[in-house]
Amino acid sequence: MADHTEWSFPAALQPRPEQVRFDLASAVRAVVMVHAEVPEDAFTANVLGTERVGSGAVIGADGLVLTIGYLITEASTIWLTTHDGRVVPGHALAYDQTTGFGLILPLGSLATPALERGSARSLNVTHEVIVIGHGGLPHSLTAKIIARREFAGSWEYLLEEALFTAPPHPEWGGTALLDPDGRLVGIGSLLVQEAVSGETYDANMFVPIDLLEPVYHDLTSFGRPGGPPRPWLGLYASELQDRLVVSMLAQSGPAHRAGVRRGDFVLAVADQPVSSLADLFRRIWSVGPAGSQIPLTLERGPDTVRVRVQSADRNDFLLKPRRH
């Protein structure tokens, strides 16, 4: 693993204690490094790798860490490194496929402050925010909200409203997004290119903290949100000039088993036309819970093909965390 401290932001981009109205030193200490090791035979190993490193925000007096879930999915080992260099093992307590959040329970004392949770609803475009990654002020920067919009990811993921900030943090996974009062308002998920007023910017996408509260009790009590899981097809699609093309299939996933092929165009779900990823996912999820048969209409070369995909619960394909 590369040295996590080899780089730093220019001083002009780093937040300064005298420029904020909260205890910046305490906030920096509340962000830890997350280092997860995943077995080579894990379902997500080929896509996400077997060694994953990012950040996480301490949100509870017991040291509970909130991060982005893909860092800890199927992890066999998790290590948490504090601001002062102490290393504590962690347990993958929960991963919510809907929001993308992950929770880590430290198996020892982190002895760090916890961040107060705020709300992203009050943040508007051009509002100044602070992005904190593990590594102290050199790995923290002052940024601005450049967009708030719906986000659809090809891996069957949809946020009604995500936050986008620039300049971007190069180690975005699990970074903490703080509002001007030092409250946690989002968790870093992606590096993206975002178009604003005809200009294209490198930016980070954040999952708003507001999505945590409705599922917090179930995640901390049962390790997953309540209610029936959404149907999952294992179908990765891309938008191509108002059309949806299958770009990848999860090996032995529901769509692959049903005969869907890479390069197929998805025309409709349950006879309802779809033209965007958000359309596709909403149509699939509206058919019924995991296990429902999802009728797809596909274009394959000159032919129109209809298949019925026996959907599944995505979690059934993932290695489960060890119990401690």
Per-residue pLDDT of 104-132, as tens digits, reads 999 999 999 999 999 999 899 989 999 99
Vertex 25 angle, CA 24 and 26, to 5°: 90
Q: Cα separations (Å) of 40 from 70, 201, 256, 324?
A: 15, 35, 21, 22
The predicted model scores a pTM of 0.95
- In this structure, the number of other CB atoms found within 10 A of the CB of residue 315 comes to 15
CB 129 within 8 A of CB 180: yes
Cα distance between residue 4 and residue 34, in whole Å: 11
**pLDDT of 288 strictly over 50:** yes
Cα distance between residue 227 and residue 191, in whole Å: 31
Q: Which residue has the tokens 């004392």?
A: 109
CATH level 2 (architecture), domain 1-227: Beta Barrel (2.40)
Q: Following DSSP, what letter does each residue of 120-133 receive, concatenated? A: GGG--TT-EEEEE-
**pLDDT of 284 strictly over 50:** yes
Q: Cα separations (Å) of 155 from 98, 141, 190, 250, 271?
A: 11, 29, 13, 10, 22
pLDDT at 1: 38
Residue type, 76: S
SS3 category, 46: helix
DSSP state letter for 158: E
Q: Where are the domains of the chain?
A: 1-227, 235-317
Encode pLDDT of 168-190 as tens digits.
999 999 999 999 999 999 999 99
Tokens of 133: 């990654």
Average pLDDT over residues 133-149: 96
CATH (one of 3.30.365.10, 2.30.42.10, 3.20.20.70, 2.160.20.60) for 235-317: 2.30.42.10
Encode pLDDT of 188-227 as tens digits.
999 999 999 889 999 999 999 999 999 999 999 999 999 9
Cα distance between residue 89 and residue 93, in whole Å: 12
Q: Cα separations (Å) of 90 from 7, 34, 57, 79, 133?
A: 26, 9, 13, 6, 18
Vertex 130 angle, CA 125 and 133, to 5°: 130
